[in-house]
Structure 1
Amino acid sequence: MFKFNIRNSEIGETIKRAALAFVIKVMGAGLAFIFNLMLARIIGADGSGIYFLALTITTITTVLGRMGLDNSLLRFVAAGAATKDWSSVKGVYNKSISLSFLVSLLAASIVFIFADFLTNNLFSKPELLQPLRLMIFAAVPMSLLLLNAQAILGLKKISESQLINSVGVQTIIIIGVITIGRKMGINGVMYSYLAGAIFIAFISHLLWKYNTPQLKNITGEFDTRKLLDSCLPLFWVSSMNIMMNWTGTFLLGIWGSSSDVGIFSIAVRNAMLISFILHAVNAASSAKYSELYHLGDISGFAYYAKKTTIILILISTPICLFFVICSKWIMGLFGASFIQGWDLLTILAIAQFLNVAAGSVGPILMMSGNEVAVRNSIFFSAVLNLILCMLLIPDYGTLGAACANSISLVSANLYCIFEIKRRLGFSLYMFTPSKERQI
């Protein structure tokens, strides 16, 4: 019989943490749905397309500003907290925040300067210029708040981290849309986004200080080379992941209309609601994976991974069925012009279900020091997505973008599942005796 080195109480602990993260993720998903609904109703498909194009460029800038430091920060903070090495925790935090601030500010400034070229020459949408310039500097506080959220998650403070990630900015944006969005249109939405990012970045810093009183009177020390060796592969992971997720929107902005971008983006965001359970479990599990691997308990690591995968499949199945069966009704909530995107939602929902059913493959590999494997999987799928988008979008428009996105997402997960078996010695779907590799 298969023997595990981890107590059942650990799984119970994960379920409790995942349940808390799940509740907050549900709140965040609900707020995101409300915001998308309000956005579509107030500024329509064309206005939504402009917003999501500006958001795409800002998100890419934010990824550049984070430099892959978010997952490295989670990993090293979790490991340092587990061993009470608070000097390394302070050191890695300070270096990560400083690097991210400088790089994100530089990247946002470059985009601001070349915004006229991007909007007029690349996208041929001059109406994008002012919204982009209003939103782009939100990349700086967004980078910092995301780093703070991951650092807090490394301390196993699930609720605080998820409130920053899932609820904070969305809440401020919705308030802004209600108060000034109806009067100022898309520019009001952009001001709201910027204000929300700045406010929540400040709150996230206060939460980090509150949760780390141990750091007050110690000197932070952490090897910069070790940090860069970890974060740079993850930077390419984040870059390729953004490329995979946003290539469809970006190329539709070039080859399609603003309305195409708006309809496709709403379908993508609706489908991604299926994966919020995955993000909740990842938030509850990532620090634990780092701790188990750091302690050398590979059997417990494997058991933990397999049990969470089963939980993910059981919860996500009925959610996916709802989205597939009710796709026309869901898209119709955003307005008559969005109903035509029901087939996009169906395709993307199935892909997101397969993404969830694959399990926490990314955190499993990253928290076990296999960042390169994640980088390779994302690189392969991002390139595949780019090729498929270039082949399909010119002839099939939004449908081609949905198919390209779905195929590349499933491919990335299949690769990660194979790498877990090859590098760590266990399968996420096998509970028979296996030869997990010792650390």
Structure 2
Amino acid sequence: MLTQLSRRSILRSFAGVSGLYLLGIPLLLVANIVLARTLSVADFGIFGFALSMATVLAIPVSGGLPMLLIREVAGYAQSKNWPAYRGVVIEAYRWVVLVSFAICLVFLVWNAVSRDMLAQHLLIAFIIVPFFGLNAIRNGILKGLGRSFLAEWPNQVLQPTLLILGYLGLAKLGLTSAANALWWYFAVTVLVFGLASIMLWRVQPPVVGEASSDETDQPRWRRALLPFMIMSATALLSTQVAVLISGFMGQEEVVAYLRVAERGAMFVIIPFHVLSTIIGPHMVAAIRSGDIGQQRDIVRQSSQLMFLTSLPLAISILLVGPQILGLLFGSPYDENSYLPMVIVSVPQVISMAFGHAGMLLTMGGRERIVLASQALALCVNITLCILLIGPFGAVGASIGVAAGVMTSTAMNVFLVKRHLGFIPGILLRPSNR
């Protein structure tokens, strides 16, 4: 069973990180509102497509690193194995630099053999990729050290604030375009990384700088990174595939409507993201101690927190969603983004009722079976998007996203039952220890 100290620690962290998300998501929403109201629907779609491309291109660079670092840093910090801690961090930086260099070569070859230069928005997407990887390392280390608040603060508060100020400045100067908005996004990404790196340097245990690097576990890190990377790829593609398919189909307006719908649905999944940043080290400790009762209690309490806080948000979207979209984004988003927002939101609430089943399996070293469930969900998502985006637009894309979420949830619940012997979620009984 969770100790009183651990329970208080989780609740305290939940309250702190929740505050960040409750501030950060509205800030991100405001940034998107400014863009939606100052760019044409087509330009807003191009902006969203370019960011989705950058996210997908970053998969080989950063995919899996946060999950790997959370698990390894938490374990090494718990055992005070600072040389191994330093070794895994160095290996992570080495990976980002080498893979970013490879992507840069691909970019140069592409431009050399292509008759037409890449569009400016795709050029920016390539340039942003290395900084996504560096930010992933910083994020994973801080979370592994139990510093979830510090890990999330730059992305949740500082970055959207700077984006808003920049977008308003571009509008004031009459420089609103998808390319200029993307260049400002790149500048903010670099600045936030620099400030966050200073913050990590200040909170990291001083003994780390004095320790020699021990990379004895390097073969195990590399074996684990590939499944983590593929898991990250399937998870990211699940969130981006509808936008990418719509963009490749030339339906920029569908991209714009879907991005607005997803921004509205972000409020519903605030509790999931908050607890995802907090409970990783607690799960690692429970798993390494072999305490099934503690694992059950972590999943039960986290699922109850997520469900009870997300349900009122989902109900609000159902009741006053069109009015909110009309007030914030204006026409035509109030008509074309409402139903997709509802379709995306409802499965997320259902998923949160079953807790972090996938994370429990992953932190316990069962990442390969989680990968299989995510791959199946991604296939469902892609198939439905290809079939439905053409005739149904943003509604069809949202159906594909929702079906993928439900497939992944069902598979993870089944796998927890099979391997750990209990069905996770809000109805799970407390352990009797």
Cα distance in 2, alignment partners of residues 81 and 299 from structure 1: 23
- Give the aligned partner of residue 334 of structure 1: 329
**Correspondence for 2:84 among 88, 92, 111:** 88
**Correspondence for 2:227 among 215, 223, 233:** 233
Shift in Å, 1:160: 0.7
**Correspondence for 2:359 among 357, 363, 380:** 363
- Give the aligned partner of residue 224 of structure 1: 218
TM-score normalized by the length of structure 2:
0.93
Cα distance in 1, alignment partners of residues 315 and 273 from structure 2: 19
- Give the aligned partner of residue 256 of structure 2: 262
- Give the aligned partner of residue 140 of structure 1: 130
Shift in Å, 1:405: 0.6
Cα distance in 2, alignment partners of residues 214 and 137 from structure 1: 34
* Percentage of identical aligned residues: 21
Shift in Å, 1:116: 11
Letter paired with 1:184: L
TM-score normalized by the length of structure 1:
0.91
Shift in Å, 1:81: 0.7
Letter paired with 2:209: K
Deviations 1:61-103 (A, max 9, x none): 1222114122101100001111111111111011012201221
Cα distance in 1, alignment partners of residues 93 and 254 from structure 2: 37
User: 1:56·1:246 contact (CA, 8 Å) conserved in 2?
Assistant: yes
- Give the aligned partner of residue 239 of structure 2: 245
User: 1:173·1:193 contact (CA, 8 Å) conserved in 2?
Assistant: yes
Cα distance in 1, alignment partners of residues 138 and 430 from structure 2: 40
Tell me whether 1:184 sits opposite 2:144 in the alignment: no
Letter paired with 2:156: S
Deviations 1:21-72 (A, max 9, x none): 1111112111111111111011032111000110110000122211412210
Shift in Å, 1:193: 0.9
User: 1:111·1:136 contact (CA, 8 Å) conserved in 2?
Assistant: yes
User: 1:181·1:187 contact (CA, 8 Å) conserved in 2?
Assistant: no
Cα distance in 2, alignment partners of residues 392 and 366 from structure 1: 32
- Give the aligned partner of residue 110 of structure 1: 106
CA RMSD of aligned residues (A): 2.3
Corresponding residue SS for 2:39: helix
Shift in Å, 1:118: 10
- Give the aligned partner of residue 293 of structure 1: 287
Cα distance in 2, alignment partners of residues 119 and 266 from structure 1: 35
**Correspondence for 1:427 among 423, 426, 431:** 423
User: 2:45·2:256 contact (CA, 8 Å) conserved in 1?
Assistant: yes
Tell me whether 1:174 sits opposite 2:164 in the alignment: yes
- Give the aligned partner of residue 197 of structure 2: 205
Deviations 1:205-241 (A, max 9, x none): 2222222211111112132211111111011111111
Cα distance in 2, alignment partners of residues 277 and 336 from structure 1: 30
- Does the C-alpha gap of structure 1 residues 330 and 112 become closer, same or farther in structure 2, counting only changes over 3 Å? farther
Cα distance in 1, alignment partners of residues 385 and 63 from structure 2: 26
Tell me whether 1:29 sits opposite 2:21 in the alignment: no
How many equivalent residue pairs? 426
Task: Give runs of aligned pairs for residues 317-356 of structure 1, distance below 5 A.
Answer: 317-332=311-326, 333-339=328-334, 340-356=336-352
Shift in Å, 1:117: 10
Deviations 1:96-141 (A, max 9, x none): 1220122134325534764799998xxxxx9x91122134311111
Unmatched runs of 5 consecutive residues or more in structure 1: 121-125
Cα distance in 1, alignment partners of residues 315 and 105 from structure 2: 44
Unmatched runs of 5 consecutive residues or more in structure 2: none
Letter paired with 1:179: G
- Give the aligned partner of residue 273 of structure 1: 267
Shift in Å, 1:269: 2.1
User: Relative to structure 2, which stretch is displaced further, 164-173 or 374-383?
Assistant: 164-173
**Correspondence for 1:312 among 290, 306, 315:** 306
Corresponding residue SS for 1:274: coil
Shift in Å, 1:425: 2.0
- Give the aligned partner of residue 55 of structure 1: 51
User: 1:149·1:164 contact (CA, 8 Å) conserved in 2?
Assistant: no
Cα distance in 2, alignment partners of residues 112 and 278 from structure 1: 39
Cα distance in 2, alignment partners of residues 255 and 101 from structure 1: 33
